[in-house]
Amino acid sequence: MATEISNVGDPARSVATLWGTRRLPRRGPRHSLTTAQVVDAAVEIADGDQDLDRLSMRRVAQALGVGTMSLYTYIASRDDLLDAMLDSVHGEAVERLGEPDHATWQDGLRSVARAGWDLHMRHRWVMQVFTGRPPLGPHSIAKYERELGVVEGIGLTDVEMDAVITLVHDHVEGVARRRVEADRAVRRTGIGDEEWWRAAGPELEAVLDPAAFPIATRVGEAAGRAHRAGQNPEHAYEFGLDRLIQGIEALIHRRA
Partner DNA sequence: CCATACACCGTACGATGTACCAAGTATTTC
Partner DNA sequence: GAAATACTTGGTACATCGTACGGTGTATGG
Site residues (vs DNA, CB under 7 A): 6, 8, 25-33, 54-59, 66-70, 72-74, 77-79
With vertex at residue 232, the alpha carbon angle to CA 53 and CA 119, rounded to the nearest 5 degrees, is 45
Residue from 7, 32, 68, 104 touching a copy of itself (CB under 8 A): that is 7
With contacts defined by CB under 8 A, name the span among 67-75, 89-97, 111-119, 197-205 that binds a copy of itself: 197-205
Nearer to DNA, 30 or 253 (CB): 30
Nearer to DNA, 77 or 106 (CB): 77
C-alpha radius of gyration, the chain, whole number:
23
The CB-of-160 to a copy of itself minimum distance in angstroms stands at: 6
The CB-of-40 to DNA minimum distance in angstroms stands at: 16
Counting beta carbons within 10 angstroms of the beta carbon of residue 162, is it exposed (0 to 12), middle (13 to 18) or buried (19 or more)? middle
Nearer to DNA, 49 or 183 (CB): 49
106 binds, among a copy of itself, DNA, none (CB under 5 to 8 A by kind): none
Nearer to a copy of itself, 61 or 147 (CB): 147
Is residue 119 close enough to count as binding a copy of itself by CB under 8 A?
no
58 binds, among DNA, a copy of itself, none (CB under 5 to 8 A by kind): DNA
The CA-atom distances, in angstroms, between 42 and each of 62, 188, 216, 226, 238 are: 11, 20, 42, 35, 32
Calculate the CA 219 to chain-centre distance.
29
The CB-of-209 to a copy of itself minimum distance in angstroms stands at: 10
229 binds, among DNA, a copy of itself, none (CB under 5 to 8 A by kind): none
The CA-atom distances, in angstroms, between 202 and each of 54, 89, 196, 251 are: 33, 44, 11, 48
Residue from 21, 30, 255, 256 touching a copy of itself (CB under 8 A): that is 21
Nearer to DNA, 54 or 198 (CB): 54
Counting beta carbons within 10 angstroms of the beta carbon of residue 6, is it exposed (0 to 12), middle (13 to 18) or buried (19 or more)? exposed
With contacts defined by CB under 8 A, name the span among 31-39, 57-65, 116-124, 202-210 that binds a copy of itself: 202-210
Is residue 30 close enough to count as binding a copy of itself by CB under 8 A?
no
CA–CA separation, 85 vs 130, rounded Å?
A: 12
Question: Is the separation of the CB atoms in 173 and 130 below 8 Å?
Answer: no
Phi then psi for 117, rounded to 5 degrees? Answer: -60, -50
Calculate the CA 182 to chain-centre distance.
16
